[in-house]
Amino acid sequence: MEYVEEGPYRFRITRRGTMRVPGVVFASRELLRDAEMSLRQVVDVATLPGIVGASYAMPDVHWGYGFPIGGVAATDPGDGGVVSPGGVGFDISCGVRLLAADCDRRALQPVLHPLMDGLGRVVPRGAGPGGVWPVTGRQLERILRSGSRYAVEEGHGEERDLRRCEDGGAVADADPDQVDRRARERGLGQVGSLGSGNHFLEVQQVTQVYDESVADAFGITAGQVCVMIHCGSRGLGHQICSDHVRLMEKAMARYGITVPDRQLACAPVDSPEGRAYLGAMAAAANYGRANRQLLAEAARGVFRREAGARLTLVYDVSHNLAKTETHQVRGEPRRLCVHRKGATRAFPPGHPELPDDLRAAGQPVLIPGTMGTASYVLTGVPGGGAFHSTCHGAGRVMSRHEAARTTDGKRLRARLEGDGIAVRPVSWRGLAEETPEAYKDVDEVVAASEGAGLCRKVARLVPLGVVKG
DNA sequence: ATGTCC
Protein backbone atom coordinates (compact mmCIF):
# COMPACT_ATOMS: atom_id res chain seq x y z
CA MET A 1 0.00 0.00 0.00
CA GLU A 2 1.33 3.41 -0.97
CA TYR A 3 1.26 6.18 1.59
CA VAL A 4 2.93 9.55 2.06
CA GLU A 5 4.21 11.06 5.28
CA GLU A 6 2.29 14.29 5.76
CA GLY A 7 3.19 15.16 9.34
CA PRO A 8 4.67 13.76 12.52
CA TYR A 9 3.31 10.23 12.99
CA ARG A 10 0.80 10.90 10.22
CA PHE A 11 0.56 9.16 6.84
CA ARG A 12 -1.93 9.68 4.04
CA ILE A 13 -3.30 7.17 1.55
CA THR A 14 -4.41 9.25 -1.41
CA ARG A 15 -8.02 8.92 -2.52
CA ARG A 16 -8.43 6.84 -5.67
CA GLY A 17 -10.82 4.37 -7.29
CA THR A 18 -14.02 4.02 -5.29
CA MET A 19 -12.60 5.68 -2.17
CA ARG A 20 -14.84 8.59 -1.10
CA VAL A 21 -12.23 10.02 1.26
CA PRO A 22 -8.50 9.51 1.78
CA GLY A 23 -7.01 7.20 4.41
CA VAL A 24 -5.11 8.74 7.31
CA VAL A 25 -2.90 6.53 9.45
CA PHE A 26 -1.34 7.77 12.67
CA ALA A 27 1.82 5.76 13.29
CA SER A 28 5.57 5.56 12.92
CA ARG A 29 7.15 3.76 9.93
CA GLU A 30 8.28 1.11 12.37
CA LEU A 31 4.70 0.51 13.61
CA LEU A 32 3.49 0.24 10.00
CA ARG A 33 5.80 -2.66 9.15
CA ASP A 34 3.66 -5.66 8.16
CA ALA A 35 0.49 -3.51 8.26
CA GLU A 36 -0.38 -4.24 4.61
CA MET A 37 -3.61 -6.12 5.37
CA SER A 38 -4.93 -3.52 7.79
CA LEU A 39 -4.07 -0.66 5.40
CA ARG A 40 -6.09 -2.47 2.72
CA GLN A 41 -8.96 -2.39 5.20
CA VAL A 42 -8.46 1.36 5.79
CA VAL A 43 -8.90 1.81 2.02
CA ASP A 44 -12.01 -0.40 1.92
CA VAL A 45 -13.64 1.57 4.76
CA ALA A 46 -13.00 4.79 2.78
CA THR A 47 -15.57 3.59 0.20
CA LEU A 48 -18.51 3.54 2.64
CA PRO A 49 -21.48 5.79 1.79
CA GLY A 50 -21.55 9.08 3.71
CA ILE A 51 -18.07 8.75 5.21
CA VAL A 52 -16.73 12.14 6.34
CA GLY A 53 -13.16 13.45 6.43
CA ALA A 54 -11.05 10.31 6.16
CA SER A 55 -10.85 6.65 7.02
CA TYR A 56 -8.56 6.75 10.04
CA ALA A 57 -6.25 4.23 11.67
CA MET A 58 -4.65 4.50 15.11
CA PRO A 59 -1.01 3.49 15.84
CA ASP A 60 -2.09 0.08 17.20
CA VAL A 61 -3.93 -0.80 13.97
CA HIS A 62 -4.14 -4.45 13.01
CA TRP A 63 -6.33 -6.69 10.88
CA GLY A 64 -9.97 -7.18 11.97
CA TYR A 65 -13.38 -8.31 10.71
CA GLY A 66 -14.18 -5.86 7.88
CA PHE A 67 -12.82 -2.75 9.55
CA PRO A 68 -9.29 -2.80 10.94
CA ILE A 69 -8.97 -2.91 14.71
CA GLY A 70 -7.75 0.59 15.48
CA GLY A 71 -10.09 2.06 12.86
CA VAL A 72 -12.18 5.23 13.16
CA ALA A 73 -14.80 6.24 10.61
CA ALA A 74 -17.52 8.90 10.91
CA THR A 75 -20.53 9.01 8.60
CA ASP A 76 -23.12 11.72 8.08
CA PRO A 77 -26.68 10.33 8.43
CA GLY A 78 -27.98 13.42 6.59
CA ASP A 79 -25.84 12.50 3.57
CA GLY A 80 -26.69 8.81 3.17
CA GLY A 81 -24.22 7.84 5.90
CA VAL A 82 -24.22 4.20 6.94
CA VAL A 83 -23.67 2.31 10.15
CA SER A 84 -21.72 -0.96 9.98
CA PRO A 85 -21.54 -3.61 12.72
CA GLY A 86 -18.03 -4.43 11.45
CA GLY A 87 -17.05 -0.86 12.43
CA VAL A 88 -17.81 -1.69 16.04
CA GLY A 89 -16.70 -5.30 16.18
CA PHE A 90 -18.06 -8.51 17.63
CA ASP A 91 -17.32 -7.45 21.19
CA ILE A 92 -19.67 -4.47 21.36
CA SER A 93 -18.67 -2.03 24.11
CA CYS A 94 -15.48 -3.85 24.95
CA GLY A 95 -13.70 -1.41 27.19
CA VAL A 96 -11.67 -0.61 30.26
CA ARG A 97 -12.48 0.40 33.81
CA LEU A 98 -9.77 1.72 36.14
CA LEU A 99 -10.11 1.93 39.91
CA ALA A 100 -7.63 3.52 42.31
CA ALA A 101 -6.93 1.93 45.71
CA ASP A 102 -6.26 3.94 48.85
CA CYS A 103 -2.91 2.21 49.33
CA ASP A 104 0.50 2.00 47.68
CA ARG A 105 2.54 -0.97 46.55
CA ARG A 106 4.53 -1.29 49.76
CA ALA A 107 1.36 -1.56 51.85
CA LEU A 108 -0.10 -4.14 49.47
CA GLN A 109 2.97 -6.35 48.94
CA PRO A 110 2.58 -8.53 52.09
CA VAL A 111 -0.99 -9.49 51.10
CA LEU A 112 -0.56 -9.58 47.31
CA HIS A 113 -0.80 -13.37 47.00
CA PRO A 114 -3.90 -13.90 49.18
CA LEU A 115 -5.42 -10.90 47.39
CA MET A 116 -4.71 -12.44 43.99
CA ASP A 117 -6.06 -15.80 45.17
CA GLY A 118 -9.23 -14.01 46.31
CA LEU A 119 -9.60 -12.22 42.97
CA GLY A 120 -8.93 -15.47 41.13
CA ARG A 121 -11.75 -17.12 43.08
CA VAL A 122 -14.42 -14.43 42.64
CA VAL A 123 -13.84 -13.38 39.02
CA PRO A 124 -15.71 -15.66 36.57
CA ARG A 125 -13.73 -16.05 33.35
CA GLY A 126 -13.09 -18.18 30.32
CA ALA A 127 -15.57 -19.03 27.58
CA GLY A 128 -19.15 -19.92 28.35
CA PRO A 129 -21.61 -19.01 31.09
CA GLY A 130 -20.90 -17.78 34.60
CA GLY A 131 -21.28 -14.32 36.12
CA VAL A 132 -21.23 -12.80 39.61
CA TRP A 133 -24.82 -11.54 39.21
CA PRO A 134 -27.32 -14.10 37.92
CA VAL A 135 -30.27 -12.07 36.63
CA THR A 136 -33.87 -12.72 35.59
CA GLY A 137 -35.24 -11.74 32.19
CA ARG A 138 -36.85 -8.69 33.75
CA GLN A 139 -33.56 -7.59 35.34
CA LEU A 140 -31.71 -8.12 32.06
CA GLU A 141 -34.23 -5.82 30.38
CA ARG A 142 -33.34 -3.14 32.96
CA ILE A 143 -29.62 -3.70 32.38
CA LEU A 144 -30.07 -3.29 28.61
CA ARG A 145 -31.93 -0.01 29.21
CA SER A 146 -29.92 1.48 32.07
CA GLY A 147 -26.51 -0.23 32.20
CA SER A 148 -24.47 0.37 35.32
CA ARG A 149 -27.10 2.88 36.51
CA TYR A 150 -29.42 -0.07 37.17
CA ALA A 151 -26.60 -2.08 38.77
CA VAL A 152 -25.92 0.80 41.18
CA GLU A 153 -29.65 1.20 41.91
CA GLU A 154 -29.68 -2.47 42.91
CA GLY A 155 -26.84 -1.89 45.38
CA HIS A 156 -23.91 -2.98 43.15
CA GLY A 157 -21.86 0.18 43.49
CA GLU A 158 -21.98 3.80 44.54
CA GLU A 159 -23.61 6.84 42.95
CA ARG A 160 -20.19 8.36 42.23
CA ASP A 161 -19.35 5.41 39.94
CA LEU A 162 -21.91 6.71 37.46
CA ARG A 163 -20.34 10.17 37.18
CA ARG A 164 -17.04 8.52 36.29
CA CYS A 165 -18.48 6.27 33.62
CA GLU A 166 -18.81 7.27 29.96
CA ASP A 167 -22.39 8.50 29.38
CA GLY A 168 -23.07 8.45 33.13
CA GLY A 169 -23.23 4.65 33.02
CA ALA A 170 -25.98 4.30 30.42
CA VAL A 171 -26.79 5.43 26.89
CA ALA A 172 -30.36 6.61 26.46
CA ASP A 173 -31.03 5.30 22.95
CA ALA A 174 -30.89 1.59 23.77
CA ASP A 175 -33.70 -0.44 22.19
CA PRO A 176 -33.94 -3.85 23.92
CA ASP A 177 -36.70 -4.85 21.46
CA GLN A 178 -33.93 -5.21 18.87
CA VAL A 179 -32.07 -7.73 21.04
CA ASP A 180 -33.46 -11.12 20.08
CA ARG A 181 -34.16 -14.07 22.36
CA ARG A 182 -30.93 -15.91 21.69
CA ALA A 183 -28.78 -12.90 22.57
CA ARG A 184 -30.78 -12.41 25.77
CA GLU A 185 -30.38 -16.05 26.75
CA ARG A 186 -26.62 -15.79 26.34
CA GLY A 187 -26.58 -12.55 28.34
CA LEU A 188 -28.56 -13.85 31.32
CA GLY A 189 -25.77 -15.85 32.94
CA GLN A 190 -22.75 -13.65 32.10
CA VAL A 191 -23.29 -10.38 34.00
CA GLY A 192 -20.04 -9.86 35.88
CA SER A 193 -17.64 -12.07 33.92
CA LEU A 194 -14.35 -11.40 32.12
CA GLY A 195 -14.57 -13.71 29.12
CA SER A 196 -11.35 -14.79 27.42
CA GLY A 197 -8.82 -13.65 24.83
CA ASN A 198 -7.16 -10.36 25.78
CA HIS A 199 -9.57 -9.70 28.64
CA PHE A 200 -8.15 -9.41 32.15
CA LEU A 201 -8.37 -7.94 35.60
CA GLU A 202 -5.02 -6.58 36.73
CA VAL A 203 -3.70 -5.19 39.98
CA GLN A 204 -1.29 -2.48 38.91
CA GLN A 205 1.03 0.12 40.35
CA VAL A 206 1.39 3.69 39.05
CA THR A 207 5.11 3.97 38.28
CA GLN A 208 5.15 7.30 36.49
CA VAL A 209 3.03 10.41 36.48
CA TYR A 210 3.58 12.72 33.50
CA ASP A 211 1.06 15.40 34.46
CA GLU A 212 0.47 15.89 38.19
CA SER A 213 -2.53 18.18 37.97
CA VAL A 214 -4.42 16.02 35.46
CA ALA A 215 -3.55 12.85 37.42
CA ASP A 216 -4.83 14.58 40.55
CA ALA A 217 -8.13 15.42 38.85
CA PHE A 218 -8.42 11.79 37.72
CA GLY A 219 -7.67 10.61 41.29
CA ILE A 220 -4.35 8.83 40.73
CA THR A 221 -0.91 9.43 42.20
CA ALA A 222 2.62 7.97 41.88
CA GLY A 223 3.09 4.67 43.73
CA GLN A 224 -0.63 4.05 44.02
CA VAL A 225 -2.17 0.64 43.53
CA CYS A 226 -4.90 0.45 40.86
CA VAL A 227 -7.21 -2.18 39.41
CA MET A 228 -7.74 -2.30 35.64
CA ILE A 229 -10.61 -4.33 34.20
CA HIS A 230 -10.73 -5.06 30.46
CA CYS A 231 -13.81 -6.87 29.19
CA GLY A 232 -16.90 -6.46 27.03
CA SER A 233 -20.46 -7.62 26.45
CA ARG A 234 -19.70 -11.36 26.18
CA GLY A 235 -22.04 -13.64 24.25
CA LEU A 236 -24.82 -11.05 24.18
CA GLY A 237 -22.81 -8.52 22.16
CA HIS A 238 -21.41 -11.26 19.93
CA GLN A 239 -24.89 -12.57 19.14
CA ILE A 240 -26.22 -9.06 18.41
CA CYS A 241 -23.35 -8.41 16.00
CA SER A 242 -23.90 -11.70 14.15
CA ASP A 243 -27.68 -11.20 13.95
CA HIS A 244 -27.46 -7.66 12.59
CA VAL A 245 -24.66 -8.38 10.12
CA ARG A 246 -26.96 -11.01 8.62
CA LEU A 247 -29.90 -8.57 8.48
CA MET A 248 -27.75 -5.92 6.80
CA GLU A 249 -26.26 -8.33 4.26
CA LYS A 250 -29.81 -8.96 3.09
CA ALA A 251 -30.83 -5.28 3.13
CA MET A 252 -27.84 -3.74 1.33
CA ALA A 253 -29.00 -4.44 -2.22
CA ARG A 254 -32.29 -2.71 -1.46
CA TYR A 255 -30.40 0.47 -0.59
CA GLY A 256 -28.16 0.15 -3.64
CA ILE A 257 -25.05 -0.18 -1.47
CA THR A 258 -22.06 -2.17 -2.68
CA VAL A 259 -18.98 -2.72 -0.54
CA PRO A 260 -15.57 -4.15 -1.51
CA ASP A 261 -15.69 -6.72 1.33
CA ARG A 262 -18.86 -8.43 2.51
CA GLN A 263 -17.63 -8.07 6.08
CA LEU A 264 -18.35 -4.35 5.63
CA ALA A 265 -22.10 -5.04 5.60
CA CYS A 266 -23.90 -1.81 6.47
CA ALA A 267 -27.17 0.10 6.16
CA PRO A 268 -28.07 3.79 6.22
CA VAL A 269 -28.16 5.15 9.78
CA ASP A 270 -31.66 6.42 8.96
CA SER A 271 -33.12 3.09 7.87
CA PRO A 272 -35.03 0.41 9.79
CA GLU A 273 -31.95 -1.86 9.72
CA GLY A 274 -29.58 0.93 10.75
CA ARG A 275 -31.78 2.06 13.62
CA ALA A 276 -32.36 -1.54 14.73
CA TYR A 277 -28.62 -2.22 14.91
CA LEU A 278 -27.88 1.04 16.73
CA GLY A 279 -30.64 0.33 19.28
CA ALA A 280 -29.37 -3.20 19.91
CA MET A 281 -25.76 -2.00 19.97
CA ALA A 282 -26.63 0.63 22.60
CA ALA A 283 -28.31 -2.08 24.69
CA ALA A 284 -25.13 -4.15 24.47
CA ALA A 285 -23.14 -1.04 25.44
CA ASN A 286 -25.25 -0.80 28.59
CA TYR A 287 -24.69 -4.50 29.25
CA GLY A 288 -20.92 -3.99 28.91
CA ARG A 289 -20.89 -1.20 31.49
CA ALA A 290 -23.02 -3.25 33.91
CA ASN A 291 -20.60 -6.14 33.37
CA ARG A 292 -17.61 -3.99 34.36
CA GLN A 293 -19.59 -2.46 37.24
CA LEU A 294 -20.24 -5.92 38.75
CA LEU A 295 -16.62 -7.01 38.31
CA ALA A 296 -15.49 -3.80 40.02
CA GLU A 297 -17.80 -4.58 42.93
CA ALA A 298 -16.36 -8.10 43.17
CA ALA A 299 -12.84 -6.63 43.24
CA ARG A 300 -13.90 -4.11 45.90
CA GLY A 301 -15.08 -6.95 48.16
CA VAL A 302 -11.75 -8.79 47.85
CA PHE A 303 -9.68 -5.63 48.42
CA ARG A 304 -11.74 -4.83 51.54
CA ARG A 305 -11.37 -8.33 52.99
CA GLU A 306 -7.77 -9.07 52.04
CA ALA A 307 -6.14 -5.64 52.15
CA GLY A 308 -8.54 -3.39 54.09
CA ALA A 309 -8.39 -1.11 51.05
CA ARG A 310 -11.03 0.92 49.21
CA LEU A 311 -11.32 1.20 45.41
CA THR A 312 -12.50 4.45 43.82
CA LEU A 313 -13.51 4.61 40.17
CA VAL A 314 -11.18 6.64 37.95
CA TYR A 315 -13.13 6.11 34.73
CA ASP A 316 -14.83 3.56 32.48
CA VAL A 317 -14.59 3.93 28.70
CA SER A 318 -15.36 1.68 25.76
CA HIS A 319 -13.13 1.25 22.70
CA ASN A 320 -15.67 -0.63 20.52
CA LEU A 321 -18.72 1.54 19.81
CA ALA A 322 -20.53 3.68 17.28
CA LYS A 323 -21.86 6.92 18.74
CA THR A 324 -23.81 9.92 17.55
CA GLU A 325 -21.60 12.94 18.27
CA THR A 326 -21.34 16.54 17.15
CA HIS A 327 -18.10 17.41 15.36
CA GLN A 328 -16.90 20.40 13.34
CA VAL A 329 -16.75 19.58 9.65
CA ARG A 330 -15.23 22.41 7.59
CA GLY A 331 -16.20 24.85 10.34
CA GLU A 332 -19.79 23.61 10.65
CA PRO A 333 -21.11 21.51 13.56
CA ARG A 334 -22.55 18.24 12.27
CA ARG A 335 -24.16 15.25 13.95
CA LEU A 336 -22.13 12.22 12.89
CA CYS A 337 -22.17 8.49 13.51
CA VAL A 338 -18.63 7.87 14.76
CA HIS A 339 -17.46 4.25 14.57
CA ARG A 340 -14.59 3.40 16.90
CA LYS A 341 -13.31 -0.15 16.68
CA GLY A 342 -10.28 -0.67 18.85
CA ALA A 343 -10.04 3.07 19.24
CA THR A 344 -10.77 5.12 22.36
CA ARG A 345 -12.83 8.27 22.56
CA ALA A 346 -10.60 11.06 23.90
CA PHE A 347 -12.59 14.23 24.64
CA PRO A 348 -10.41 17.31 25.24
CA PRO A 349 -10.55 19.66 28.25
CA GLY A 350 -13.70 21.79 28.19
CA HIS A 351 -15.82 19.27 26.27
CA PRO A 352 -19.49 19.74 27.26
CA GLU A 353 -20.11 16.00 27.71
CA LEU A 354 -17.48 15.68 30.45
CA PRO A 355 -18.57 15.75 34.13
CA ASP A 356 -17.68 18.89 36.12
CA ASP A 357 -14.76 17.31 37.99
CA LEU A 358 -13.09 16.29 34.71
CA ARG A 359 -13.96 19.35 32.61
CA ALA A 360 -10.60 21.09 33.08
CA ALA A 361 -8.48 17.93 32.78
CA GLY A 362 -10.11 16.23 29.80
CA GLN A 363 -11.43 12.70 29.46
CA PRO A 364 -9.42 9.88 31.03
CA VAL A 365 -8.32 7.49 28.28
CA LEU A 366 -7.50 4.00 29.55
CA ILE A 367 -5.01 1.93 27.56
CA PRO A 368 -4.53 -1.71 28.53
CA GLY A 369 -1.05 -2.90 27.57
CA THR A 370 0.23 -6.45 28.02
CA MET A 371 0.53 -8.46 31.23
CA GLY A 372 4.31 -8.23 31.16
CA THR A 373 4.84 -4.61 30.19
CA ALA A 374 2.67 -1.60 31.04
CA SER A 375 -0.66 0.14 30.69
CA TYR A 376 -1.35 3.86 30.35
CA VAL A 377 -3.73 6.60 31.38
CA LEU A 378 -3.96 9.36 28.78
CA THR A 379 -6.16 12.40 28.30
CA GLY A 380 -7.81 14.06 25.31
CA VAL A 381 -6.30 17.14 23.66
CA PRO A 382 -7.78 20.05 21.69
CA GLY A 383 -7.77 19.43 17.95
CA GLY A 384 -7.85 15.66 18.32
CA GLY A 385 -7.21 14.67 14.67
CA ALA A 386 -9.64 11.73 14.30
CA PHE A 387 -12.96 12.85 15.78
CA HIS A 388 -11.39 12.87 19.25
CA SER A 389 -10.08 9.33 19.17
CA THR A 390 -6.81 7.63 20.02
CA CYS A 391 -5.28 4.17 20.39
CA HIS A 392 -6.83 1.43 22.53
CA GLY A 393 -3.95 -0.88 23.45
CA ALA A 394 -0.65 -2.32 22.28
CA GLY A 395 -2.07 -3.97 19.12
CA ARG A 396 -1.26 -7.53 18.12
CA VAL A 397 1.70 -8.37 15.86
CA MET A 398 1.46 -12.15 16.24
CA SER A 399 -1.65 -14.20 15.54
CA ARG A 400 -3.14 -16.16 18.43
CA HIS A 401 -2.07 -19.34 16.67
CA GLU A 402 1.53 -18.21 16.25
CA ALA A 403 1.72 -16.96 19.85
CA ALA A 404 0.41 -20.29 21.19
CA ARG A 405 2.79 -22.21 18.91
CA THR A 406 5.89 -20.34 20.07
CA THR A 407 5.01 -19.93 23.76
CA ASP A 408 4.78 -22.40 26.61
CA GLY A 409 2.07 -21.14 28.98
CA LYS A 410 3.62 -22.65 32.11
CA ARG A 411 7.04 -21.18 31.35
CA LEU A 412 5.45 -17.81 30.61
CA ARG A 413 3.76 -17.86 34.00
CA ALA A 414 7.06 -18.75 35.71
CA ARG A 415 8.79 -15.90 33.87
CA LEU A 416 6.15 -13.36 34.89
CA GLU A 417 6.14 -14.59 38.50
CA GLY A 418 9.93 -14.22 38.42
CA ASP A 419 9.40 -10.59 37.41
CA GLY A 420 7.17 -10.14 40.47
CA ILE A 421 3.86 -10.42 38.60
CA ALA A 422 1.36 -12.80 40.21
CA VAL A 423 -0.53 -14.70 37.50
CA ARG A 424 -3.90 -16.41 37.93
CA PRO A 425 -4.63 -17.98 34.51
CA VAL A 426 -7.65 -19.99 33.45
CA SER A 427 -5.93 -21.93 30.67
CA TRP A 428 -2.29 -22.37 29.62
CA ARG A 429 -3.17 -21.94 25.96
CA GLY A 430 -5.11 -18.72 26.66
CA LEU A 431 -2.16 -17.38 28.65
CA ALA A 432 0.33 -18.28 25.89
CA GLU A 433 -1.79 -16.50 23.25
CA GLU A 434 -1.45 -13.30 25.28
CA THR A 435 2.31 -13.43 25.71
CA PRO A 436 3.76 -9.87 25.70
CA GLU A 437 5.79 -10.78 22.58
CA ALA A 438 2.52 -11.13 20.62
CA TYR A 439 2.02 -7.36 20.90
CA LYS A 440 3.61 -4.16 19.69
CA ASP A 441 5.57 -2.09 22.19
CA VAL A 442 2.86 -0.18 24.09
CA ASP A 443 5.35 2.61 24.91
CA GLU A 444 5.88 3.14 21.15
CA VAL A 445 2.15 3.04 20.42
CA VAL A 446 1.46 5.64 23.10
CA ALA A 447 4.42 7.80 21.97
CA ALA A 448 3.06 7.73 18.41
CA SER A 449 -0.45 8.60 19.61
CA GLU A 450 0.87 11.54 21.60
CA GLY A 451 3.26 12.57 18.82
CA ALA A 452 0.38 12.56 16.34
CA GLY A 453 -1.55 14.99 18.55
CA LEU A 454 -4.31 12.54 19.46
CA CYS A 455 -3.78 12.53 23.24
CA ARG A 456 -1.38 13.31 26.06
CA LYS A 457 0.27 10.97 28.57
CA VAL A 458 -0.90 11.21 32.18
CA ALA A 459 0.42 8.09 33.91
CA ARG A 460 2.10 4.73 33.30
CA LEU A 461 1.14 1.64 35.27
CA VAL A 462 2.83 -1.75 35.58
CA PRO A 463 1.17 -5.03 36.56
CA LEU A 464 1.59 -6.56 40.04
CA GLY A 465 -0.94 -9.31 39.44
CA VAL A 466 -3.13 -10.48 36.60
CA VAL A 467 -6.37 -12.46 36.64
CA LYS A 468 -6.48 -13.75 33.08
CA GLY A 469 -9.59 -14.51 31.06
C1' DA B 1 -14.06 -11.31 20.62
C1' DT B 2 -17.29 -15.89 20.61
C1' DG B 3 -21.48 -21.93 24.06
C1' DT B 4 -13.89 -20.41 18.79
C1' DC B 5 -19.47 -24.05 13.07
C1' DC B 6 -26.45 -24.52 13.18
Does the structure show a pLDDT above 80 at A193?
yes
How far in angstroms lies nucleotide B3's C1' from the CA of residue A160? Answer: 35
Q: How confident is the model at residue A385 (pLDDT cuts 50, 70, 90)?
A: confident
Does the structure show a pLDDT above 80 at A151?
yes
A372 touches strand B (CB under 7 A): no
What are the φ and ψ backbone dihedral angles of A348, each rounded to 5 degrees?
-80, 165
How far in angstroms lies nucleotide B2's C1' from the CA of residue A92? Answer: 12
Question: pLDDT tens for residues A91-119?
Answer: 999 999 999 999 999 999 999 999 999 99
Question: pLDDT tens for residues A386-396?
Answer: 999 999 999 99
Does the structure show a pLDDT above 80 at A340?
yes
Mean pLDDT of A59-75: 97
Which nucleotides of strand B come closer than 7 angstroms to any CB of the protein? 1-4
Closest nucleotide relative to residue A182's CA, C1' based: B3
A91 touches strand B (CB under 7 A): yes
How far in angstroms lies nucleotide B3's C1' from the CA of residue A133? Answer: 19
Mean pLDDT of A185-194: 98
Closest nucleotide relative to residue A89's CA, C1' based: B1
A127 touches strand B (CB under 7 A): yes
A435 touches strand B (CB under 7 A): no
Q: Residue A118: its pLDDT value, please?
A: 98
A439 touches strand B (CB under 7 A): no
Q: Are strands A4-7 and A10-13 parallel, antiparallel or unpaired?
A: antiparallel
Does the structure show a pLDDT above 90 at A130?
yes
How far in angstroms lies nucleotide B3's C1' from the CA of residue A24? Answer: 39
A432 touches strand B (CB under 7 A): no
Q: In this prediction, what percent of chain A has a pLDDT beyond 90?
A: 99
Residues 134-193 of A with CB under 7 A from strand B: 182, 185-186, 190
Residues of A labelled as active-site residues: 392
Mean pLDDT of A314-341: 96
Does the structure show a pLDDT above 80 at A384?
no
How far in angstroms lies nucleotide B6's C1' from the CA of residue A239? Answer: 13
A240 touches strand B (CB under 7 A): no
Question: pLDDT tens for residues A266-275?
Answer: 999 999 999 9
A452/A468 Cα distance (integer angstroms) = 32
- Protein residue closest via CA to C1' of B4: A127
Exposure b/e, A310-349, CB count within 10 A at least 16 = b? ebbbbbbbbbbbbbebebeeeeeebebbbbbbbbbbbbbb
Closest nucleotide relative to residue A429's CA, C1' based: B4
Does the structure show a pLDDT above 90 at A282?
yes
Question: pLDDT tens for residues A20-48?
Answer: 999 999 999 999 998 999 999 999 999 99
Mean pLDDT of A420-429: 97
Q: Residue A224: its pLDDT value, please?
A: 98
How far in angstroms lies nucleotide B4's C1' from the CA of residue A263? Answer: 18
Does the structure show a pLDDT above 80 at A182?
yes
Three-state SS at A106: helix
Contact A32, A6 (CB under 8 A): no
A395 touches strand B (CB under 7 A): no
The backbone region for A150, taken as left when phi is positive above 0, alpha when psi lies in -120 to 50, beta otherwise, is alpha
- Protein residue closest via CA to C1' of B3: A128
Q: Which residues contact A219 (CB under 8 A, 6 or more apart)?
A: A100, A312, A314
Closest nucleotide relative to residue A90's CA, C1' based: B1
Question: pLDDT tens for residues A361-372?
Answer: 999 999 999 999
Contact A224, A154 (CB under 8 A): no
Radius of gyration of chain A (CA): 21
Mean pLDDT of A55-81: 97
A10 touches strand B (CB under 7 A): no
How far in angstroms lies nucleotide B6's C1' from the CA of residue A322? Answer: 29
